[in-house]
Amino acid sequence: MKKVSRRTVLTAAVPAAALGVSGFSAAASLVGSEEPTSTNIVVAVVSNPDMLRLEQLTAEFTAATGITVQYVTLAHSDLTAQVTQVAGAGTGEFDVAMVSPNEIQAGWAAEGYVQTLDELFAGLSEQDRAAYDVDDLLPKVRAALSVDDELYALPFNAESSMLFYRKDLFSAAGLAMPDAPTWEDIAGFAAALNRDGIRGVDLRFAPEAGELSPFMTVVNSFGGRWFDESWNPQLLSAEFVAAAEFYVGVLHEAGDPTQAVATFSSGLEAMQRGRSAMWLDSTVAGGLLSNPLISSVADTVGFVKAPTQGCSNGSAWLYSWALGLVKGSTKTAAAFEFMRWATSSQYTELVADTAGWASIPPGTRSSVYENSSYTSAAPFAELTLASIDGADPSSPSCQPVPYSGINVVYIPEFAEIATYVGGGLVRAVHGETTVTDWLTDAQNHVVEAMTTAGYLN
């Protein structure tokens, strides 16, 4: 197993009454366990702004409960591989791991790599169940983390897709962003605004499955699909090819194809620094772009639903970073205590008190979107909720498909497939191959992968 770095969050002796963590006192709800309150748990995470803030605030959880937390930070692909190995062996190296609907739906629930949480909630006191309030979780997000109506992870944040744009640049150019733009609209705007050191549009391209989400929504919007009803790969279909030609073409004309790769992080930084006129990406960026302490465009950024192009299915994706209880953990009670705290309304309020309402982990609870403190501070809130509510993983394309998933396909093989396709996308953007050659090679690879996996004869 690849060696990973570990760090334990150091904690201060802060009185529990001062923490705003009601329902998580040292004496509360250790789920009938005899684990000592000095338990240390190991939590495997990816690095993102919301997780960094969680690590900074974990001292308050420890002060309230006596449970210390040791974080192991990994790239998403490494986390998936290592948790799969640890859970499969039942070694208990990780107690909690960040998971997404991809893993839950593509086998982690079925294989028992993460444990169902329903019985643990049933074992709580009525007061603790009410304090957490599972029914407050957004239905679409809860469903994405459930299999056969059993919940396997608690959402830390959740997202859909959104187009961010510079209202000041649009105004200066005499352009008006429609409420429901098409990709044809975006290409025209990008060409008009691609000047004076500002690129017209940013879109991701990288050889990593998670970075393929914007490309997949374009494929969906053009009416494409990854597989037909018999699991035959469709990367050379007219719709898929048209989407790929568009994606590469708009980046050549009005993006920055000179980047080695373009990721969520690089796109966020470019938008925050005023180097991009438009950016299609995750709704979680709304708070990061609206914060004047870290964003130079906070007063000028606009928000609109993700573009479509003939098909509205699959333009709004659905994703969540969630916390799952890893198979083999010997510290179930303490791990579950931490999971509930980190995904609770009390934690949301703690972040709001610390960093402002616009900075809370978004997309998880109905009560947040009914809270005027949040909606007044977050101009993107209503659109985020509408995009999540409108996402339908069971119908990602206007054509029939045998799979579920919008920005991913919920099968175990998809991470490798998407990484391979993403590598070809990078080469096409760099001009090292044509779209036709890229997709021909990718089609052959996917056919081989699906045959090996038993989907095709």
Residue 38, pLDDT score: 61
| Residue ranges with strand state E in 287-442 | 301-305, 319-325
Query: Are residues 172 and 286 located together in one domain of the fold?
Result: yes
Asked if residue 17 is part of any domain, the answer here is yes
Residue 29, pLDDT score: 39
Query: Are residues 171 and 242 located together in one domain of the fold?
Result: yes
To which residue do tokens 């290592």 refer? Answer: 82
Residue 145, pLDDT score: 98
Burial 122-148 (b: 16+ CB within 10 A, else e): eebeeebbebbeeeebbebbbbbbbee
> Which segments in the chain show pLDDT lower than 50?
1-37
Query: Using alpha carbons only, what angle is made at residue 88 by residues 87 and 94, rounded to the nearest 5 degrees?
Result: 20
Asked if residue 55 is part of any domain, the answer here is yes
CA-CA distance, 403 to 418, in Å (whole number)? 15
Query: Are residues 154 and 171 located together in one domain of the fold?
Result: no
Residue 49, pLDDT score: 87
Domain count, the chain: 2
CA-CA distance, 457 to 453, in Å (whole number)? 10
CA-CA distance, 24 to 62, in Å (whole number)? 10
CA-CA distance, 177 to 156, in Å (whole number)? 32
Q: Is the distance from CB of 222 to CB of 246 less than 8 angstroms?
A: yes
Residue 370, pLDDT score: 97
Contacts of 185 (CB under 8 A, 6+ apart): 178, 307
Collapsing DSSP to helix, strand or coil, 158 comes out as: strand
Asked if residue 457 is part of any domain, the answer here is no
Burial 280-317 (b: 16+ CB within 10 A, else e): bbbbbbbbbbbbeeebebeebbbbbbbbbbebebbbbb
Burial 340-377 (b: 16+ CB within 10 A, else e): bbbbbbbbbbbbbeebbbbbbbbbbbeebbebeebbeb
Query: Are residues 78 and 137 located together in one domain of the fold?
Result: yes
Asked if residue 220 is part of any domain, the answer here is yes
Q: Is the distance from CB of 109 to CB of 135 less than 8 angstroms?
A: no
Q: Is the distance from CB of 397 to CB of 314 less than 8 angstroms?
A: yes
Query: For residue 304, which phi and psi values (nearest 5 degrees)?
Result: -150, 155
Which pair of tokens denotes residue 99?
A: 């998971």
Query: Are residues 42 and 136 located together in one domain of the fold?
Result: yes
Asked if residue 239 is part of any domain, the answer here is yes
Question: Which uninterrupted H or E stretch holds 80?
Answer: helix 76-89
Asked if residue 145 is part of any domain, the answer here is yes
Q: How many CB atoms lie within 10 A of CB 91?
A: 14
Query: Are residues 59 and 179 located together in one domain of the fold?
Result: no
CA-CA distance, 19 to 262, in Å (whole number)? 39
Query: Are residues 127 and 184 located together in one domain of the fold?
Result: no
Closest to 442 measured CA to CA, from 454, 456, 425? 425
Asked if residue 1 is part of any domain, the answer here is no
Q: DSSP letters of 8-23?
A: EPP-----GGGTT-TT
Query: Are residues 194 and 269 located together in one domain of the fold?
Result: yes
Contacts of 29 (CB under 8 A, 6+ apart): 23, 124, 125, 128, 337
Closest to 420 measured CA to CA, from 390, 445, 456? 445
Query: Are residues 260 and 310 located together in one domain of the fold?
Result: yes
Query: Are residues 432 and 447 located together in one domain of the fold?
Result: yes
Range of the domain at 270: 166-315+394-452
Q: Give the CATH number of the domain where residue 420 resides.
A: 3.40.190.10
pLDDT in tens, 313-341: 999 999 999 999 999 999 999 999 999 99
Closest to 75 measured CA to CA, from 148, 5, 159? 5
Asked if residue 232 is part of any domain, the answer here is yes
Tell me the whole-structure pTM to 2 decimals: 0.89
Residue 420, pLDDT score: 97
Pairing of strands 40-45, 68-73: parallel
Query: Are residues 212 and 305 located together in one domain of the fold?
Result: yes
Residue 410, pLDDT score: 96
Query: Are residues 232 and 332 located together in one domain of the fold?
Result: no
- Alpha-carbon distances, residue 353 vs 65, 376, 381 (angstroms): 20, 15, 18
Which pair of tokens denotes residue 188?
A: 């025209």
CA-CA distance, 298 to 292, in Å (whole number)? 5
Closest to 185 measured CA to CA, from 194, 195, 175? 175
Query: For residue 173, which phi and psi values (nearest 5 degrees)?
Result: -90, 0
